């Protein structure tokens, strides 16, 4: 069975790979690469390679099944194995410890995908801005089909000081949103893979001014 934690990793990876062209996804068990999500052209491979859009649909399906109370498994994996989810990045993308990825273009674009709905992240971001007085222009990109929010901001290219500040702000928003979601779990409310990748098992279980978050 895919645990909720692994499914959360799949959700954030699927969302950010669909948004950022230079990011793909790998699913591994130990040293074995089970499946990869990428954009064409596809290289010859000994493992399945899905277009990122197909991978995204697969994870959406798994998320829908899980929210309905259905346990899900990944096709081709023994039920007792837990896969590791990773990002496959081009040289233009750097992964920063803590989960932030930095994309180098005309500016440095800093992104962090959170397995949380946008309303939770928006409230947390507003709170952080109120406390810090930051003037960074932060965008919140909602992937509603996955209940994922991607926090995005940019800084001048190769300005390491500004980049550290941006990463710190994003991490503060993530921490605040995570705490808020954990508090909500104390009093839970009713929750309002493409089949080739993930299938259900039979068993069941019970836009704004700078200095504030905005949606694209």
Query: What's the 3-state SS for 182-206?
Result: HHHHHCCCCCCCHHHHEEEEEEECC
Q: What is the pLDDT of residue 27?
A: 95
Burial class, 126, CB count within 10 angstroms (exposed 0-12 / middle 13-18 / buried 19+): middle
Residues of the chain with pLDDT under 70: 76, 78-79, 185-216
| pTM listed for this prediction | 0.85
pLDDT, tens digit, for every residue of 48-98?
999 999 999 999 999 999 999 999 888 767 667 789 999 999 999 999 999
Phi, psi for residue 179 in degrees, rounded to 5: -60, -45
pLDDT attached to residue 82: 85
Q: Residue 27: which of 44, 46, 13 has the closest Cα?
A: 13
| Greatest pairwise CA separation for the chain in angstroms | 53
The phi and psi torsions of 105 (rounded to 5 degrees) equal -135, -125
Distance between CA 112 and CA 209 in Å, rounded? 21
Give pLDDT, residue 196: 47
Query: Helix, strand or coil for residue 96?
Result: coil
Q: Taking a C-beta distance cutoff of 8 angstroms, is the pair 129, 203 a contact?
A: no
| pLDDT at 194 (0 to 100) | 52
Q: What is the pLDDT of residue 75?
A: 76
């Amino acid at each position: 069975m895919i645990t909720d934690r692994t499914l959360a990793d799949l959700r954030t990876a699927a969302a950010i790979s669909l948004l950022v062209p230079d990011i793909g996804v790998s699913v591994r068990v130990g040293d074995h690469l089970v499946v990869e999500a990428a954009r064409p052209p596809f290289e010859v491979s000994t493992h399945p390679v899905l277009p990122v859009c197909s991978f995204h649909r697969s994870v959406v399906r798994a998320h829908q099944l899980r929210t309905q109370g259905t346990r899900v498994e990944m096709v081709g994996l023994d039920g007792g194995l837990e896969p590791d989810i990773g990002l496959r990045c081009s040289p233009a993308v750097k992964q920063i410890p803590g989960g932030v990825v930095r994309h180098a273009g005309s500016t440095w674009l800093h992104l962090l995908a959170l397995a949380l709905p946008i309303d939770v992240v928006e409230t947390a971001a507003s709170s952080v801005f109120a406390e810090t007085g930051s003037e960074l222009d932060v965008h919140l990109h909602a992937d509603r089909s996955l209940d994922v929010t991607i926090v995005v901001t940019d800084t001048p290219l190769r300005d390491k000081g500004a980049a550290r500040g941006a990463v710190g702000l994003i991490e503060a928003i993530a921490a605040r949103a995570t705490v808020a979601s954990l508090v909500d779990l104390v009093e839970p409310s009713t929750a309002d893979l493409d089949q080739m990748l993930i299938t259900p098992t039979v068993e069941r279980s019970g836009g704004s001014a700078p200095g504030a978050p905005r949606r694209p």
